[in-house]
A and B are shown apart, each in its own frame.
Chain A
């Protein structure tokens, strides 16, 4: 118990009764962080920034939006034309969704490359997958709100996925819609859920951070921190690195908002929803395309839905699918190759999801889907039996400082 940690008497008085300042000092200032983190470790804080941006702009947009089939489309157009700075706020929200997914996908692939999901960080990973699921639900329902053609038909197609469930499917879909088609009741409940789910995400993010701070960040070498010589305090070293990364991120984000605001959208969504006419080619938002490709690759309605959700379900059990005790791909020469194949496979699935479901695209979708599940269900459990991993360094300091640190690390090892 350090008594004079804070000089300001007001801070001291509050902290004695409500130790929020001690908490922040401990978790944001002194928090020991591995000293070898690279720029891929910026994406967690970037995701947090994106979440806050989405919530702030979303609250502001909801002040000007009308959740009714007759007014929704016009109210969004009013935001674009008449509301002060409405175009800017909506473009930030619209592109913010895409950038949130870009950041989170990089964050996930970083975890896959460096084995961040392995013990003791299994729950940290699972909470992250849960956040991804919540984000997908939120993004899907948000896309329905402008009530354009893509909104309406996207909502129709996605809710109809549940009709694949045997026996109760039709009743579930009617329940989701609150009627016999996507209509005003559907729009109202989607608005309500789109508003509340981000706050659920905030809750899960807090749990994600609690789990993270239990064992601290993983690192590019993937071995445990051996002592204070392997860490540096979070502030100022990583606060400044996160801020620098944020400014680079914001440069790209601002470029999209100001110069290519509709690049990641679909022009058909600027046509008001018409329940009588389906657009010739329906595509979901880009961040759903890989999953959409898996859905279409399976020539069976229920099977397609199961495989699509299965693609996320495998992520939940990944910590137990991967039998290798070595975390970082730097020391797994074979897995490292397959990691890049998985990344290309996901990009290929994304491309195929945007293409019409015919000819060569169907065949390629099936191959890519097969590889995705092969990678998770067969490669992860079996590869460790074949793969010869490279020798791990004794400590995080060793590759940087060389011999001396190695000797001291060996000494501590022998003590054990």
Chain B
């Protein structure tokens, strides 16, 4: 380009820059739209999503008993709480809790508590479902991996876990049947 660049040449330079930038932009969009299917195929497939709900019949679950069902490949704890357990879960003070939540917020039907049985610390399955299990200092669940103690409402009370046991989305289809997911 000569030193005496006329205004026309400058104008053309602007035109050229526009062409180059828009070409790169189109190439970038094209590359991204090709990459997306290759990345998205690793997300859950339609059949995996279709299996994402589980129905559980609770009519045979006696007071004090618990069952563990599988939902999305993870254990879900269902416990039929005794009146004493319900009382302690409701009356305890929230002041000292790491993740304060009332029992009513977590349990729509006070008799049955439904929790994702995965410790919020690093993903182990806590003990407390079987009658002989260690239930921890607060009578709920106890994670043996790193010593997290959960109460009757599945709230973290002691140990390294940062949050309460997760409550899955579920609803009662009838008095004794729940649908998780």
A contacts, CB < 8 Å to B = 56-57, 60, 63-64, 78, 81-86, 88-89
Chain A residues with Cβ below 8 Å from B36 are 85
Q: Verify if B174 is at the interface (C-beta below 8 Å from A).
A: no
**B37 contacts A89, C-beta separation under 8 Å:** yes
Q: Verify if B7 is at the interface (C-beta below 8 Å from A).
A: no
Per-residue CB contact flags for chain B residues 22-44 toward chain A (1 = under 8 Å, else 0) read 00000000000000111011110
**B46 contacts A89, C-beta separation under 8 Å:** no
**A89 contacts B38, C-beta separation under 8 Å:** yes
How many whole Å from A93's CB to the nearest CB in chain B? 11
Among A63, A78, A83, A86, max chain B CB count under 10 A is at: A83
How far, in whole Å, are A38 and B53 apart by their CA atoms in the complex? Answer: 60
How far, in whole Å, are A84 and B46 apart by their CA atoms in the complex? Answer: 7
User: What DSSP secondary structure best describes chain B's contact surface?
Assistant: helix
How far, in whole Å, are A56 and B45 apart by their CA atoms in the complex? Answer: 19
The 10 A-B pairs of least Cβ separation, nearest first, read A85-B37, A82-B46, A82-B45, A82-B47, A83-B45, A84-B40, A84-B41, A60-B38, A88-B37, A83-B41
Closest to A78 in B: B47
Chain B residues with Cβ below 8 Å from A83 are 41, 45-46
**B42 contacts A63, C-beta separation under 8 Å:** yes
Q: Which of A64, A78, A81, A85 contacts B40 (CB 8 A)?
A: A85
How many whole Å from A284's CB to the nearest CB in chain B? 29
Using C-beta atoms within 8 Å of the partner chain, give the interface range for chain B: 10 to 19
How far, in whole Å, are A64 and B48 apart by their CA atoms in the complex? Answer: 12
Chain A residues with Cβ below 8 Å from B47 are 78, 81-82
Closest to A61 in B: B41
Asked whether A84 and B38 contact (CB < 8 A) given A78-B45, A78-B47, the answer is: no
How many whole Å from B28's CB to the nearest CB in chain A? 15
- Additional A-B contacts beyond A83-B45, A84-B41 (14; CB < 8 A): A63-B41, A64-B45, A81-B47, A82-B46, A82-B48, A83-B41, A84-B37, A84-B46, A85-B37, A85-B38, A85-B41, A86-B45, A88-B37, A89-B38
**A64 contacts B41, C-beta separation under 8 Å:** yes
**Can you list 20 residue pairs at the A/B interface with Cβ under 8 Å?**
A57-B38, A60-B38, A64-B41, A78-B45, A78-B47, A81-B46, A81-B47, A82-B45, A82-B46, A82-B47, A82-B48, A83-B41, A83-B45, A83-B46, A84-B45, A84-B46, A85-B37, A85-B40, A86-B41, A89-B37
How far, in whole Å, are A85 and B46 apart by their CA atoms in the complex? Answer: 11
How far, in whole Å, are A278 and B171 apart by their CA atoms in the complex? Answer: 53
Chain B residues with Cβ below 8 Å from A84 are 37, 40-41, 43, 45-46
How many whole Å from A318's CB to the nearest CB in chain B? 38
**A60 contacts B45, C-beta separation under 8 Å:** no
Chain B residues with Cβ below 8 Å from A89 are 37-38, 41
How many whole Å from B16's CB to the nearest CB in chain A? 14
How far, in whole Å, are A86 and B46 apart by their CA atoms in the complex? Answer: 11
How far, in whole Å, are A88 and B38 apart by their CA atoms in the complex? Answer: 10
**B38 contacts A56, C-beta separation under 8 Å:** yes
How many whole Å from B146's CB to the nearest CB in chain A? 32
* B26-74 interface (Cβ within 8 A of A): 36-38, 40-43, 45-48
Closest to A84 in B: B40
How many whole Å from A201's CB to the nearest CB in chain B? 20
Chain B residues with Cβ below 8 Å from A60 are 38, 41
How many whole Å from B61's CB to the nearest CB in chain A? 34
How many whole Å from A148's CB to the nearest CB in chain B? 20
Among A56, A78, A84, A86, max chain B CB count under 10 A is at: A84
How far, in whole Å, are A266 and B87 apart by their CA atoms in the complex? Answer: 69
Chain A residues with Cβ below 8 Å from B48 are 82
Chain A residues with Cβ below 8 Å from B40 are 84-85
How far, in whole Å, are A78 and B43 apart by their CA atoms in the complex? Answer: 14
How far, in whole Å, are A277 and B37 apart by their CA atoms in the complex? Answer: 37
How far, in whole Å, are A64 and B41 apart by their CA atoms in the complex? Answer: 9
